[in-house]
A and B are shown apart, each in its own frame.
Chain A
Amino acid sequence: MMPILSFLIIFALAGAIISFVSGKYSKSIALIFSGLIFVFTLYIVLYFKYGYIGYQYMESYSWINTPYLTANYVLGIDGISLLMLLLTAFLFLVVIIYSWNENHNAPSFFGLIMLEEMGVLGVFLSLDFLLFFIFWELSLVPMFFLIAYWGGKNRNYAAYKFFIYTHVAGVIMLVSVLSIYFYSSASSLDFSAMSAKSAFISPFTQFVIFLGLLFGFGTKMPIVPMHTWLPDAHVEAPTAASAILAGLLLKMGAYGLIRLGAFMLPSGRSAAEPLMLFLGILSIAWGTFAALSQKDLKKMIAYSSISHMGMVLIGIAVWSQIGVMGAVFLMFAHGLVSPLLFMSAGSVHHSYGTRDIPKLGGLAKKTPIIGTILVFASLASLGLPSLISFPAEFSILYALYSSSGFYYAIIPIAILAVTAGYYIWALQRAVFGPYKCKVKAPHDLPLNEFVSMGMLVSLIVLYGILPFLLVNVITSSFIGVL
């Protein structure tokens, strides 16, 4: 069989290298290669055996073979990775279309975006821990440069903070997974080889290792005590990087927590369940109330991301079929909605030169399309029924209610009301009302931004109306585990 998953990674790498050296054609190169990746991904999605339990499109080659440590080059996907793969391929295409007018050092910009795509694809496709870790670290470096060179005023600080936080988280994760490997004396660093033995580690050790993983992946997600890098990074990052960061890099944390944490350490996860519930609810509350007080549109969206990822953590913590399904669904949903929010905030910034909510006002009058998309994205993010976030959040809350009871479920539900509040309040100040901006004739969306946002909008509506398209794909991948 054709090693199609390796092709995806090779395309991204080739796209990166060619973009770096191809001068003014770099954006076309990036578009072609990301389009190629998207087409191949559609092929994978079409020929994916739905309902099949286990990994598909497997590729396995021997790589490191020593008496004490075996690691192989293994790629493969199941339902969860399929969704993440689709999200990655789609989002990078959208982001490249959105950044079509990026002229400041374009070859490096598009080269770094493609390199980032390679890292993210690798994380979601690899089934061997060493490979996973290499791609994980690889995804940090381009993002660091994207923030550090194309960012806002305070970009240096934000770039370093992002880099150091996520790198420390990464190495703690490395130590934790190596502990799984050595304590379980698994035959190799393959996920399947480790999870075959890891359940036999003593419960206390599992708990300690799981805490390490929770720290590592939780910093990336981020959940509340370790979240401070995210608002800084988002505010300073260019819009494209923000979209990738919120849409994909945060998902890597949640994906790792499911794949490496909860799948491998069942007793560790159940011991850490109260802690995860607490942290999840704390993240929701913290993110929501912090978002309420933000003046910068992007910072507000960043805090709303934190509260959404808290919701994902609750889904993982509950660990019932519907809970995990909801968590993965919400990852996918948030991966579409938050880039749309960041892109519309970026477009506001292009048109009006500011993102401060008090300085804006009456956007809808001068730039109706931007205003409409901003309203749509906010409604999608706060969980309006018939849009994509609603089924996801509903299943998580349902799962929380059925496993932990009324008193646990009432807190996030009450906070969701506040979420609706800060979005509507922000919209009221920024989009509606009298026109307050100093810009006399702001331009509305350029074509490329309109197309890219339109692509996101259509998927948000499609999966909001037809959520069952995703549900079965997700559940088939952990029927054997739960």
Chain B
Amino acid sequence: MFEYIYYIPEILTIIAAILSLLFDALKERLLAGWTSIILLSFSLVVVLGWLKIVPSLFALPSLGGNGIFLFTTLGMVFQVIFLIVSIVVELSSLDFDFGGIFYALVDLALVGMLMVAISGEMVTLIISLELASISTYVLAGYARRSSMSLEAAMKYYIIGSLSSALTIFGLSIVYGISNTTSLWILNFEYGSNNSLISNPLLLLGFSFIIVGLGFKIAMVPFHMWAPDVYQGAPSQVSALLASGSKSMGFMAMIIIFFASIFFLGAKLSFLFGILAVITMTVGNLMALKQRNIKRMLAYSSIANAGYILLAFSIDTPLGLAGGMFQIFSHAVMKAGAFLVVAAVATYGIGESIEDYRGLVKVDPLIAVSLTILLLSLAGVPPLMGFDSKFVLFSSAIQEGGWYILLAVLGVINSAMSLYYYARVIKLMFAYTNEKPKNVKKYPYFTVFAIVILVSMVILIGVYPSPMINLLLTAAKNYMTWI
């Protein structure tokens, strides 16, 4: 069962990468960007068609696996996230004259992410993860003249290699015990074979995987790289890392742990609960005292990883749906926030939070957009960030028992986060005597991308019903499938 139709998004993205390189050689930078954006948008329409959100261009024959790939609704939802993030990042890059190689690298990273979303087997998963990671290492150092960017790239490269090594080592232990790389077969084997479950090596293997992927998603205590890298990298790349790469890490974790969580059960549930609480608390506490907006966003991204990890602890279809909703909303909001930083930079405004004083005078549209994004990140209704946290925490409450404690800690953390978001908002609307600054080249495309993301935040926020239903179906299918 190998049909090309399944791979249309990946194939289109690879074509986009190759064409971008070609146009870069011909010095046609804008053409490279537009080609990528159009091909990626087409892929997005295709995937949305499969999810029955827009009229379908190519009918998807059936969901299922072929040993290497596993096509699920859940994977498609993640493909949508990756595509949206990449498209807005590339749109924003049109303003900044990054060159064709930039688009090619983003496209290649995207291919890796898209393949992670459909991989059903360990080796495919590793290859896809590596493809995405290596492209993003280069992207983090894309601002060659900036020493911060180079430091970020180096740090990200070293940490990333270590995390890959740990993940691969963990997966190799699991393979050594089970003799299969297919996560699907693995689950059926383990579901019926008690002697394998009681093997202590298995827990060791999974611990390595948690650590390895924990680096990717910036889980405490493996989060140290994130603020430095997000701060040093160009803002568009930070958006790609915080939104795309992190969601990819979570997709990999869902593939591995939701396949295995049935037989490891309570042990992992407790572990993930503890990790979630520690991650969200440390992220929020550290974010409180940041002076640089990109570092603040990085720590808030760490805190969000904590919220999402709750889904792994709760381990019900509703919990998974809540986790996916949180991943989706976090990706959209964080990408928007980093693009705002990029857009504001064109006014010559720095990255310190204090520099944002009186931004509403400089550019009301950007200031209001950032306000909406930050309020949504803080979980203020009726925005998307509230809905996703609502579903996630209510799934914990539905489980009862100690999950209610997790939910309470989660909402208190969420309330705490309001403090550092409100600080930025308050500064932006503060009264200043400065006159509006002139800008050489208004970042139209970045602002357009921001407006798209903000309207998603508002629209899905006000009417979340179809989104919740889609995610719930995806989660239910996924958990009965595995």
Binding site for B on A (CB under 8 A): 63-69, 105, 130, 133-134, 137-138, 141, 144-145, 148-149, 156, 159-160, 163-164, 167-168, 170-172, 174-175, 178-179, 181-183
Best-buried of A63, A137, A141, A159 by chain B (most CB within 10 Å)? A137
User: What A residues does B411 contact at CB under 8 A?
Assistant: 171-172, 174-175
Q: Is the CB of B394 within 8 A of A144?
A: no
A148–B428 alpha-carbon span in the complex (Å): 13
User: What B residues does A171 contact at CB under 8 A?
Assistant: 411-412, 414-415
Best-buried of B375, B390, B400, B416 by chain A (most CB within 10 Å)? B390
Q: In which size bucket is the chain B interface?
A: 35 or more
Does B407 sit at the interface, judged by CB under 8 A? yes
The A-B contact count (CB < 8 A) is 85
Residue of B nearest to A68 (CB): B318
Q: Is the CB of B465 within 8 A of A178?
A: no
Binding site for A on B (CB under 8 A): 318, 375, 380-382, 386, 390-391, 393-395, 397-398, 400, 404, 407-408, 411-412, 414-416, 418-419, 422, 426, 429-431, 463-465, 468-469, 472
Best-buried of A105, A133, A175 by chain B (most CB within 10 Å)? A175
B418 partner, pick from A67, A138, A163, beta carbons under 8 A: A163
A182 partner, pick from B375, B394, B416, beta carbons under 8 A: B394
23 contacts between A and B (CB under 8 A): A65-B465, A66-B468, A66-B469, A66-B472, A68-B394, A68-B398, A105-B431, A130-B390, A133-B381, A134-B381, A137-B381, A145-B426, A145-B429, A148-B426, A160-B422, A163-B419, A164-B416, A170-B415, A172-B408, A172-B411, A175-B407, A178-B397, A182-B400
User: What B residues does A144 contact at CB under 8 A?
Assistant: 422
Q: How far is the CB of B142 from chain A (nearest CB, A)?
A: 38
Given contacts A149-B429, A178-B393, A182-B394, contact A66 B465 (CB under 8 A): yes
User: What A residues does B463 contact at CB under 8 A?
Assistant: 63-64
Q: Is the CB of A175 within 8 A of B404?
A: yes
Q: How far is the CB of A151 from chain B (nearest CB, A)?
A: 12
By Cβ-Cβ distance, the 5 closest A-B pairs, closest first, are A171-B411, A134-B381, A168-B415, A64-B465, A66-B468
A69 partner, pick from B381, B394, B430, beta carbons under 8 A: B394
Q: How far is the CB of B465 from chain A (nearest CB, A)?
A: 5
User: What A residues does B415 contact at CB under 8 A?
Assistant: 164, 167-168, 170-171
A167 partner, pick from B407, B418, B426, B464, beta carbons under 8 A: B418
Given contacts A138-B381, A141-B375, contact A164 B408 (CB under 8 A): no
Given contacts A174-B411, A182-B394, 10 further A-B contacts (CB under 8 A): A66-B468, A66-B472, A134-B381, A137-B380, A148-B426, A164-B419, A171-B415, A175-B407, A178-B394, A179-B404
A67–B469 alpha-carbon span in the complex (Å): 8
Q: Is the CB of A160 within 8 A of B419?
A: yes
Q: Is the CB of A149 within 8 A of B422?
A: no
User: What B residues does A148 contact at CB under 8 A?
Assistant: 426
Best-buried of A69, A130, A182 by chain B (most CB within 10 Å)? A69
- Looking at chain A's contact residues, is the secondary structure mostly helix, strand, loop, or mixed? helix
User: What B residues does A69 contact at CB under 8 A?
Assistant: 391, 394, 468
User: What B residues does A164 contact at CB under 8 A?
Assistant: 415-416, 418-419
User: What B residues does A178 contact at CB under 8 A?
Assistant: 393-394, 397
A171–B412 alpha-carbon span in the complex (Å): 7
A148–B380 alpha-carbon span in the complex (Å): 18
Q: How far is the CB of B85 from chain A (nearest CB, A)?
A: 25
User: What A residues does B404 contact at CB under 8 A?
Assistant: 175, 179
Residue of A nearest to B470 (CB): A66
Q: Is the CB of B418 within 8 A of A63?
A: no
Residue of B nearest to A145 (CB): B429
User: What B residues does A63 contact at CB under 8 A?
Assistant: 463, 465
Q: How far is the CB of A363 from chain B (nearest CB, A)?
A: 33
A182–B464 alpha-carbon span in the complex (Å): 20
Q: How far is the CB of A211 from chain B (nearest CB, A)?
A: 12
Residue of B nearest to A205 (CB): B400
Q: How far is the CB of A205 from chain B (nearest CB, A)?
A: 10
Residue of B nearest to A173 (CB): B411
Q: Is the CB of B472 within 8 A of A67?
A: yes
Residue of B nearest to A165 (CB): B415
Residue of B nearest to A167 (CB): B415
Residue of B nearest to A63 (CB): B465
User: What B residues does A183 contact at CB under 8 A?
Assistant: 400
User: What B residues does A174 contact at CB under 8 A?
Assistant: 390, 393, 411
A174–B407 alpha-carbon span in the complex (Å): 10
User: What B residues does A181 contact at CB under 8 A?
Assistant: 394
User: What A residues does B391 contact at CB under 8 A?
Assistant: 69
Q: How far is the CB of A175 from chain B (nearest CB, A)?
A: 6
Given contacts A144-B422, A168-B412, contact A175 B472 (CB under 8 A): no
Residue of B nearest to A104 (CB): B431
Q: How far is the CB of B406 from chain A (nearest CB, A)?
A: 11
A181–B382 alpha-carbon span in the complex (Å): 20
User: What A residues does B429 contact at CB under 8 A?
Assistant: 145, 149
Q: Is the CB of A134 within 8 A of B407?
A: no
User: What A residues does B430 contact at CB under 8 A?
Assistant: 149
User: What A residues does B318 contact at CB under 8 A?
Assistant: 68
A386–B251 alpha-carbon span in the complex (Å): 69
Q: Is the CB of A64 within 8 A of B418?
A: no
User: What A residues does B407 contact at CB under 8 A?
Assistant: 175
Q: How far is the CB of A200 from chain B (nearest CB, A)?
A: 16
Q: Is the CB of B380 within 8 A of A175?
A: no
User: What A residues does B412 contact at CB under 8 A?
Assistant: 168, 171-172
User: What B residues does A170 contact at CB under 8 A?
Assistant: 415
Q: Is the CB of A64 within 8 A of B422?
A: no
A159–B395 alpha-carbon span in the complex (Å): 32
Given contacts A182-B394, A182-B397, contact A134 B408 (CB under 8 A): no
Given contacts A134-B381, A145-B429, A175-B411, contact A182 B398 (CB under 8 A): yes
User: What A residues does B381 contact at CB under 8 A?
Assistant: 133-134, 137-138
User: What A residues does B468 contact at CB under 8 A?
Assistant: 64, 66, 69
Residue of B nearest to A108 (CB): B429
Q: How far is the CB of A57 from chain B (nearest CB, A)?
A: 23
User: What B residues does A137 contact at CB under 8 A?
Assistant: 380-381, 386
Q: How far is the CB of B277 from chain A (nearest CB, A)?
A: 15
Q: How far is the CB of A477 from chain B (nearest CB, A)?
A: 27
Q: How far is the CB of A278 from chain B (nearest CB, A)?
A: 24
Q: How far is the CB of B125 from chain A (nearest CB, A)?
A: 30
